[in-house]
Structures are given as C-alpha cells and as structure tokens.
Amino acid sequence: MNAQNPNPSKSYAVSMLPAHKAEELTNGGKLAHIELGEQLYTLRITRAGKLILTK
C-alpha cells in the first residue's frame, strides 16, 4: 500500500480486465448492439458522452 495507490491489488485486478473503446464498438457512431446469450442489448453514447445500456 502507498499514498498514490492505497489498494494495489484492486488496480491490478482492474487492469487485467478486457478494455474496449465505446467509439470502436459503435464504429464511430452512437449505437451498437450487444448480444448476451439469447438477449440483445443496445449500447448508446449520449450527447453528454455517457453510456446507456438497454434491453
């Protein structure tokens, strides 16, 4: 543990996760479909730059 990173094991775990850029998922647009099993979700980038995931 140090002042800059009070929980080093947590940041290490986060860095091991797959990372994806929303702009790449939407091919530069504002919408993308994401499938999970039989379900289809819509990922939307808002004008404010926030992400919304809906069923």
Spatial distance between the Cα atoms of 4 and 52, rounded to a whole number of angstroms: 31
Identify the pLDDT of residue 34.
97
Residue 22 pLDDT > 90: yes
2-15 confidence digits (pLDDT tens): 555 555 566 666 67
- Residue among 48, 55, 44 nearest 22 (CA): 44
Share of the chain above pLDDT 70, in %: 75
32-48 confidence digits (pLDDT tens): 999 999 999 999 999 99
Decide the pairing of beta strands 39-45 and 31-36: antiparallel
Tell me if residue 49 falls in helix, strand or coil.
coil
| Consecutive H or E run containing 10 | helix 8-15
Grade residue 1 by pLDDT with cuts at 50, 70 and 90: very low
Count the alpha carbons within 13 Å of 24 in the hemisphere toward its beta carbon: 3
- Its pTM stands at 0.69
Looking at domain 21-54, its CATH class is mainly beta
Domain segments of the chain: what residues?
21-54
